[in-house]
Amino acid sequence: MQYSKVEISGVNTNELKVLTEQQKLELLKRTRNGDKKAREELIKGNLRLVLSVLQKFTGRSDCADDLFQVGVVGLIKAIDNFDPKFEVKFSSYAHPMIAGEVRRYLRDFQPVRVSRSLRDLAYRSMLAREKLTEKLSREPTATEIAEETGEDRCDIVTAMESVSDPVSLYEPVYSEAGDTLYVIDQIKDCCDDKSWLDELSVKETIASLQEREKRILYLRFFKGRTQMEVAKQIGISQAQVSRLEKGALDKIKRQF
């Protein structure tokens, strides 16, 4: 899904107007007094904010136009509910409302359907998470969200997971030096006889490696360290780590 294209939902994004905070406040005051022209100008002047919010949802929908329209609905709700007495920037107020509207749309129209009660709990949990994130200046834990909502932690986790998008088996989870590890690479059938035989062969091959090679593989693939971190810990150069790692992996590959 691309939001950088020139036109989206019939709107030329290269021609979108940008308002100053003072202009927004003036238009908001006029809007609250029933000025429809000011309201329309305020909407058009904040469409870039909608596009900015939608960047967080890249890949969540095949239709950018639909999400843009939903985001505009969130923007309009923010305009209708914003009060200058809040003493916050309009963009700070509108951002979570636009994001919330998009999340609700994705939740209600996702391929996997979940019960209404579970969706409602997930929605309340997301609101609590946004509130706590702003309050704590960090991502809250599931326990903190449970305390905020008064719900059981397990129910919170289940609800949040129920509205999460399915992950593709070919979603990359790690990539370095051109070698990409995908989700499918981490899935195995524990009942497959060949699997445990291959695992046994790998263990035997690793056992035959030099101690330094085993140490490097352990730090790189079990501890998740970068080559630079491994080099610093072992006391050799990053180039040596790269060479030894490649050599050890080649030995294992030759075994198969």
Report the pLDDT value the prediction gives residue 59, as an integer from 0 to 100: 63
Please list the residue range(s) of the chain that carry CATH number 1.20.120.1810: 7-109
Contacts of 100 (CB under 8 A, 6+ apart): 74, 126, 127, 130
Report the pLDDT value the prediction gives residue 1, as an integer from 0 to 100: 45
Please list the residue range(s) of the chain that carry CATH number 1.10.10.10: 188-255
Statement: the pTM of the whole predicted model exceeds 0.75 = no
- For the domain spanning 188-255, the CATH number is 1.10.10.10
Tokens representing 92?
């700070």
Report the pLDDT value the prediction gives residue 94, as an integer from 0 to 100: 87
CA distance 196 to 204: 12
Report the pLDDT value the prediction gives residue 229, as an integer from 0 to 100: 87
Return the H-helix or E-strand segment holding 248.
helix 238-255
DSSP 8-class letter at 85 = G
Report the pLDDT value the prediction gives residue 145, as an integer from 0 to 100: 92
Tell me: the pLDDT tens digits for 44-102? 888 888 888 888 876 665 567 788 888 889 889 888 888 877 677 888 888 888 888 88
Half-sphere exposure of 52 (CA within 13 A, CB side): 12
Low-confidence residues in the chain, pLDDT < 50: 1-5
**What's the fold here for domain 7-109?**
Four Helix Bundle (Hemerythrin (Met), subunit A) (1.20.120)
CA distance 170 to 59: 14
- Enumerate the β-bridge partners of residue 11: 8
Strand pairing category for 172-176 and 11-12: unpaired
